[in-house]
Amino acid sequence: MRELLRKAKDAVAAFARDESGGALSEYGLLIALIAVACIAAMIFLGKAIATKFKDVGTQIQNAQPVQ
């Protein structure tokens, strides 16, 4: 039983020391965090930005040419 626990402990320690692929997972987490921030910004600012673009479009449509 102790031998099995020692082998399991050694396997977990070796897995914790192995850093190959660590950078890839960190980049994946960073990209996921950026995506969540972009989605949150679109949700919270979407209506305000759409309203601004609509207002600018209306002003352009109603603009009189300069003489």
Question: pLDDT tens-digit profile of 45-66?
Answer: 988 989 999 999 999 999 888 8
- Residue 28 maps to a domain: no
Does residue 26 lie in a domain region? no
Widest CA span of the chain, in angstroms? Answer: 95
Gap between the Cα atoms of 41 and 57, Å rounded: 22
Query: What's the total number of domains in the chain?
Result: 1
- Rounded average pLDDT over 12-38: 81
The predicted pLDDT at position 34 comes to 95
Tell me which residue range forms the domain holding 43.
Answer: 37-61
- Mean pLDDT of all residues belonging to the chain: 85
Round to whole Å and give the CA distance between 14 and 16. 5
54, part of any domain: yes
What's the pLDDT score for residue 52? 92
Please report which confidence band the pLDDT of residue 20 belongs to, taking 50, 70 and 90 as the band edges: low
* 44 is a domain residue: yes
Dump strand ranges (E) for the chain.
none
Please tell me the distance from the alpha carbon of residue 50 to that of residue 64, in angstroms, as a whole number: 24
DSSP 65: P
